[in-house]
Amino acid sequence: MSDRMLVGHLSTGRTGPIQVNRYANRNQQQNADSVSFQELLSQQQLKFSHHAEQRLRQRGIELLPDQLTRIANAVDQAAAKGAKDSLVLFRDIAMIVNVPNRTVVTAMDGNSMKEHIFTQIDSAVVVS
């Protein structure tokens, strides 16, 4: 026998290219894209720990949707720099945010910040 196999030319015994149902793959891709989009949306939102929610209520801090968007963008910037736990300063509000989980751990207003030391953070972001 003198069957030769050329490099890069493997024979499967079939002739012609393997046909795939393109529409099935396209539908699967669209479903995967919609899931990815939902995940993307959920990643852009900030979560608040129970403790942070209590502190916000106790201190009368209310955040509007556009303010949350600006804070979330700041968390994105911190994540891009590799931050893990950030102090996020927005107006007279200070928040400690766990960046990988996108979770606000605690929050305080200007009056509560006096004489406080922030520890166990690796970055600070000032939101303008």
Write the pLDDT tens digit of every residue in 33-89: 454 545 544 545 899 999 999 999 999 999 999 999 999 999 999 999 999 999 999
Burial of 56 (0-12, 13-18, 19+ CB in 10 A): buried
- The whole-number average pLDDT for the span 3-25 is 46
Report how many helices (DSSP H) and strands (DSSP E) the chain contains, helices first.
4, 5
Give, in degrees to the nearest 5, the angle at Cα 79 between 123 and 110: 45
Q: Which of 100, 112, 72, 101 is nearest to 88 (CA)?
A: 72
Predicted TM-score (pTM) above 0.75: no
pLDDT at 128: 84
